[in-house]
Structure 1
Amino acid sequence: MEERKFCQCCAMPLDKPEDKGTEAGGTLSEDYCRYCYQNGAFTAPDATMDDIIAFNLKFNAENGHPFGPQEEAEKMMRGWFPTLKRWRKG
Structure 2
Amino acid sequence: MKNLGASELCLFIEPYGEDYWLKPGEALTVGPEAEGIDVWFDTYVSTDCITVWLYEGGDPTKVVLDYVVVDADGTRLDCGHQRPPRLADPDPV
Q: Which TM-score band (shorter chain)? A: under 0.3
Of structures 1 and 2, the one scoring higher in RCO (CA 8 A, sep 6+) is 2
The structure with more radius of gyration: 2
Normalising by structure 1, we get a TM-score of 0.26
